[in-house]
Structure 1
């Protein structure tokens, strides 16, 4: 018996017609930050381009095609780093593609999700590939920012302060508007859209407040994007990448060429844990749904001195003396 042909649901264009596709409908159906939405769009478009190069209809792709695509990704050189894509990057691209296909399954445009049976790379949940920074190196970068001069100095200091003191994602920082700054119950605050489209709020440290106030004194408090370019456009994440590396270089950080804004987020978490901040508080601050994600940043988690067996033995000893 032949398999019935899957047809595009009424009101939606076909993937292959070139005029539009399901991607925007899929993205509109998800609560995502602008940065995540853009990344997912790129991930799906990359796969659609791969299919087009092989004259393959994406609606007829099988897990074998997805496997072949994944192997191609694993040998792809990242133009920014000059290295092949990390397993985590490949896994993220396939995760986005799986979500896209799951949407098509619900629309009955495809019979099954071909990514479900694919061979995805294994990614260790308790290991972060991000190049980290020590607390002293972050301090040195903040000091380098204080030495900046020129028309963007106040803006750049405020950007770095948000990354360093709050551990925000670069996409969260560049998406901020002036109206996102506020005050609640005696705290100066910032509201932003976190990963997964979640509305979040964080308290601002005194150093961040000073940096923002100095910047707003120059910028003015007119509505619109908080951080803008000389032409009035919103500062993008690539400009922040360049800023972080330039300040790391000026601060004498050895690995400055391999750093990213996420390195400061990594440093926020590791330093907080080093200073004894409870894991759940760090998890809440970073907006992690899974505590295992936060645990990756705890560099001292394998220290045998922290084995709970010692704590239990000490308690037993105290009880025996009482």
Structure 2
């Protein structure tokens, strides 16, 4: 029988029903667990206090808080799996090992840019411990991480080809091959397709505060520009939204009652961009959309033209084709500079070829 967490929540009236993941019998999902004194656990008193302060700090935005929380969860998982017993015992070499784990298949499989973000969250937490009076050095400062967090490392190969959009046929194939949980994943990619969402934006949608179902619109916060915007979705997405929210699909997940987020996992109150990438890759491979790799990254992982961002690019192209003016599109996509929006007037080489040849053949 699967061991259940059963940690007492801070309201003192309920116990956690999530699957236990760590050696102390806890699930590692809730920072609100109040009965654990295990140093390496996510319910560590200092971690809980740190997150509580961050949540209440008006200068800390929702995206920053999510990053803090995600970073501590990854740190906790690594500490439990192979790190020292306590974060206070970490050395610069441990930080380097942590980064190696983060970028491995056993960890998060993330790129240099994201790994640097995780390390930054570790450093912020250590600074909190130092401010609290802990007699410790910050091991991050002496670690040789060998990371290149420059924007050039995170952007795709688009020097000559431009961005890569997904065609309607490809999108339909993707939707037909989505892995479980199907109801969640169909809604996720339909909204990204309808609204031109960045993956990180999809993870932060709160189903009660951000969605106006009568008007079929969503208030979206952009971590990239630090601004809010309103996007609109289709009747198809509304039907999927009803299945997810009204017909009980979301409530099947353990964090459903406590999480404000639209997209949750079976163990966490919100999904991550890593999850979105993994779901997309599985569906694309099953649909035959990833038959030819473009290149391999520094870790030897194959990279392909089509990625979750392709849905956002396709949204922009479709809006241009339907005559939406550039300023409306700029606001809808959350671009701070209209020059970014203008690139969709001059799409990738293959799309230009198809458009010109179609015009010539008419």
Q: TM-score w.r.t. structure 2 length?
A: 0.51
Distance 1:79 1:202 in 2: 36
Match of 1:27 in 2: 51
Match of 1:127 in 2: 153
> 1:127 aligns to what SS in structure 2?
helix
1:189 aligns with 2:217: yes
Distance 1:282 1:130 in 2: 24
1:107 aligns with 2:132: yes
Match of 2:72 in 1: 41
Does the 8 Å CA contact 1:26/1:100 hold for their aligned counterparts? yes
> 1:190 aligns to what SS in structure 2?
strand
Give the root-mean-square deviation of aligned CA atoms.
5.3
Q: Encode CA deviations 1:251-280: one digit per residue, 9 max, x unaligned.
A: 4312699689x93236526985997968x9
Q: Which residue of 164, 167, 176 corresponds with 2:197?
A: 167
Rg bigger for which structure? 1
Q: Which residue of 230, 237, 246 corresponds with 1:202?
A: 230
Distance 1:266 1:110 in 2: 48
Unaligned runs of 5+ in 2: 1-35, 56-61, 257-262, 266-270, 294-301, 347-362
User: CA shift at 1:100, angstroms?
Assistant: 0.6
Distance 2:157 2:213 in 1: 34
User: CA shift at 1:94, angstroms?
Assistant: 1.4
Distance 1:89 1:255 in 2: 26
Return the structure number with greater relative CO, CA threshold 8 A, min gap 6.
1
Distance verdict in 2 for CA 1:188–1:218, change over 3 Å: closer
Match of 2:105 in 1: 79
1:3-14 to 2 correspondences below 5 Å: none
User: CA shift at 1:148, angstroms?
Assistant: 7.3
1:228 aligns with 2:221: no
Distance 1:173 1:211 in 2: 20
Distance 1:189 1:220 in 2: 16
Aligned residues: 262
Does the 8 Å CA contact 1:182/1:190 hold for their aligned counterparts? yes
User: CA shift at 1:214, angstroms?
Assistant: 2.3
Does the 8 Å CA contact 2:95/2:139 hold for their aligned counterparts? no
User: CA shift at 1:98, angstroms?
Assistant: 0.8
Match of 2:307 in 1: 263
Unaligned runs of 5+ in 1: 1-12, 301-322
Distance verdict in 2 for CA 1:195–1:271, change over 3 Å: same
